Structure 1
Amino acid sequence: MAIGKLFLVFLCMAMVIGLAKSIEFTEKDLASNESLWDLYERWRSHHTVSRDLSEKRRRFNVFKSNVHHIHLVNQMDKPYKLKLNEFADVTNHEFRNSYSSNVKHRRAIRGSRPSTGFMHGKADSTLPASVDWRKQGAVSGVKNQGQCGSCWAFSTVVGVEGINKIRTGRLVSLSEQELVDCDREKDNSGCNGGLMADAYDFITTHGGLTAENMYPYKARDGKCDVAKMNAPVVTIDGHENVPPNDENALMKAVANQPVSVAIDASGTDMQFYSEGVFTGNCGTELDHGVAVVGYGTTLDGTKYWIVRNSWGPEWGEQGYIRMQRDVEAKEGLCGIAMEASYPIKLSSDDPKSAAKDEL
């Protein structure tokens, strides 16, 4: 791959998400090594983790450190809470090395992105105080990317599903696997990462995206099924980039439809996020594609984004995280305002909109 194109490869975080819920614990569980070991055994059983004895002992020490971190943070006066989840015996260093990739230098090579025609000049004064596209039926159920760096595909699909519902009145679950297998014309690389803007270009160029039940997700790279790719059920007419480093511009976009964004999701608190408005420490080393599907304000006045993740419904708030909005940094919390884009759809007609494809 030419160095000039390297920046386009966006390796997102490939999470291993189980179906089990998080394990609760109390002060009593932290009282001794014996009680912590019992907690670890309970966690292992809950998440069906298999370790040999030597690895199990080493992982117990990691688990113990993570439990104490979660407990410490939850005792603080923070607007969010953490929980024991699938990553409880993984160090943050391992978490970062295994599930993220620094794309900051690649963005620097690419330079600024055009954002002409952004939202057709809609005035900020007309924006609603809060938006939740889930309540409008424009967001499908939370999905699970598994052990595949395909978050870019999931983020893209949220955008297409959302604008299709808004324009046609139909919410159709679309195929991430088609993007993983077939979108190789620029520098998107399936389970090795990609960019949402490039995926929108692929969907536009190839006449749409097929249904998930037609081309189901496998959480691994596969050979492109051309017949399925050539049977689209939803089309778009292009995409636009949100002006970077501008949360007001991102708010304007989200007021109109779900929007694809990239964030730095490699921090320890993000690793164990459970609920509340996330205000934790994070940088702008973008490593994960997600989608903003709304925004709002808590009763105490804290502004937040509603962010749909692709780590399954057991992570966070049923698969979502609320992230603090309108922060001092121009990039937004965790860089959420740096790399936002959304699809354009002008028509209310699609090649196929069979009832069996609807959610």
Structure 2
Amino acid sequence: MTMMKFLIVLVVLIAFTTHLCESFELERKDFESEKSLMQLYKRWSSHHRISRNAHEMHKRFKIFQDNAKHVFRVNHMGKSLKLRLNQFADLSDDEFSMMYGSNITHYNGLHANRVGEFMYERAMNIPSSIDWRQKGAVNAIKNQGHCGSCWAFAAVAAVESIHQIKTNELVSLSEQEVVDCDYKVGGCRGGNYNSAFEFIMQNGGITIEENYPYFAGNGYCRRRGPNNERVTIDGYERVPRML
């Protein structure tokens, strides 16, 4: 693996529950009646191997209906954005946030490690959009599990992408190393991505996921071995808001 040092531009990655992990297709006939919606719910449960008792299923079905109708409605607005049902479709927003979100309610401002204007502030002839997935710069969707590690996943995904853009080599890097070893934040209790970038810069980079697999929990920081392949960055910037 080619290891290089880069200046990384911070891109805020927001994961919506309707985009995570495997998807589940919807059809208009699924919404014709309460019975068809229940059949949809059972197919969804079987698809994602989710088991509920009778009492829990009654509660979850109501939430599932609302989420399924929202997905179907958005997908028929004629927009480029398309949503899908995933394995979290019978959880409310509050339940999802409680189970998978960060417990940290306040974030300090993101501070770049360079002084002056944004490095691309005067760039010309910028395309209106770029889909980096089509250019092979984005890994498959990952699942953070029951751990408030979204901050680590956001930072690691950005590093994975800039590494591919610079080297044409897409690798999967270790979120677990960041969760375990960045002592400035709370691991599964939450953190922020600028702290993760600082950690990667100050600790000789980040190893590949194969060397330090993710298990969705807080663990002891493991020292890297002599042949531990790592990706490093020189810095990062916050992309200014477009007015």
- TM-score, structure 2 normalization: 0.75
Verify the 8 A CA contact 2:19 2:84 in the aligned structure 1. Answer: no
Deviation at 1:206, TM superposition (A): 1.0
Classify the secondary structure of the residue corresponding to 2:230. Answer: coil
- Counterpart CA distance in 2 for 1:97 and 1:150 is 13
From the superposition, tell whether residues 76 and 171 of structure 1 become closer, same or farther in structure 2 (CA, over 3 Å). closer
Classify the secondary structure of the residue corresponding to 2:237. Answer: strand
From the superposition, tell whether residues 118 and 131 of structure 1 become closer, same or farther in structure 2 (CA, over 3 Å). farther
> Aligned AA for 1:40?
Y
Could you list the per-position Cα deviations for residues 269-318 of structure 1 after superposition, in whole angstroms to 9, with x for gaps in the alignment? xxxxxxxxxxxxxxxxxxxxxxxxxxxxxxxxxxxxxxxxxxxxxxxxxx
Classify the secondary structure of the residue corresponding to 1:34. Answer: helix
- Counterpart CA distance in 1 for 2:186 and 2:206 is 17
The match for 2:3 is: none
From the superposition, tell whether residues 223 and 38 of structure 1 become closer, same or farther in structure 2 (CA, over 3 Å). same
> Aligned AA for 2:36?
S
Classify the secondary structure of the residue corresponding to 2:144. Answer: coil
The match for 1:209 is: 206
From the superposition, tell whether residues 70 and 240 of structure 1 become closer, same or farther in structure 2 (CA, over 3 Å). closer
From the superposition, tell whether residues 16 and 146 of structure 1 become closer, same or farther in structure 2 (CA, over 3 Å). farther
Query: Which of 218, 221, 225 is residue 224 of structure 1 equivalent to?
Result: 221
The match for 1:46 is: 47
The match for 1:189 is: 186
Verify the 8 A CA contact 1:18 1:47 in the aligned structure 2. Answer: no
Equivalent residues, number: 229
1:90 corresponds to 2:91: yes
- Counterpart CA distance in 1 for 2:217 and 2:195 is 20
Could you list the per-position Cα deviations for residues 242-286 of structure 1 after superposition, in whole angstroms to 9, with x for gaps in the alignment? 34xx22xxxxxxxxxxxxxxxxxxxxxxxxxxxxxxxxxxxxxxx
1:31 corresponds to 2:32: yes
- Counterpart CA distance in 2 for 1:48 and 1:206 is 40
Deviation at 1:207, TM superposition (A): 1.3
- In structure 2, list runs of 5 or more residues that go unmatched: 1-13
Query: What is the aligned-residue RMSD (CA, Å)?
Result: 3.4
From the superposition, tell whether residues 167 and 25 of structure 1 become closer, same or farther in structure 2 (CA, over 3 Å). closer
> Aligned AA for 2:195?
D
- Counterpart CA distance in 2 for 1:120 and 1:19 is 34
- Counterpart CA distance in 1 for 2:42 and 2:216 is 28
> Aligned AA for 1:124?
A
Q: Which has the higher contact order (CA 8 A, sep 6+)?
A: 2
Verify the 8 A CA contact 1:210 1:229 in the aligned structure 2. Answer: no
The match for 1:106 is: 106
The match for 2:195 is: 198
Deviation at 1:76, TM superposition (A): 4.2
> Aligned AA for 1:201?
E
The match for 2:59 is: 58
Q: Higher strand share goes to which structure?
A: 1
Query: Which of 220, 225, 230 is residue 233 of structure 1 equivalent to?
Result: 230
Verify the 8 A CA contact 2:26 2:72 in the aligned structure 1. Answer: no
> Aligned AA for 2:216?
A
- TM-score, structure 1 normalization: 0.54
Verify the 8 A CA contact 1:17 1:144 in the aligned structure 2. Answer: no
> Aligned AA for 1:191?
C
**Structure 2 matches for 1:1-359, cutoff 5 A?**
20-27=22-29, 29-101=30-102, 106-107=106-107, 110=108, 113=111, 116-120=115-119, 123-184=122-183, 186=184, 188-228=185-225, 231-243=228-240, 246-247=241-242, 330=243
- Counterpart CA distance in 2 for 1:165 and 1:157 is 12
- Counterpart CA distance in 1 for 2:239 and 2:33 is 51
> Aligned AA for 1:141?
A
More deviation, 144-153/194-203: 144-153
Could you list the per-position Cα deviations for residues 184-234 of structure 1 after superposition, in whole angstroms to 9, with x for gaps in the alignment? 1x2x22222211111111111111111211111212221111135993522
Could you list the per-position Cα deviations for residues 12-50 of structure 1 after superposition, in whole angstroms to 9, with x for gaps in the alignment? 9797999654042333x3333333222222221111111
Classify the secondary structure of the residue corresponding to 2:189. Answer: coil
More deviation, 91-100/42-51: 91-100
> Aligned AA for 1:216?
P
From the superposition, tell whether residues 223 and 13 of structure 1 become closer, same or farther in structure 2 (CA, over 3 Å). farther
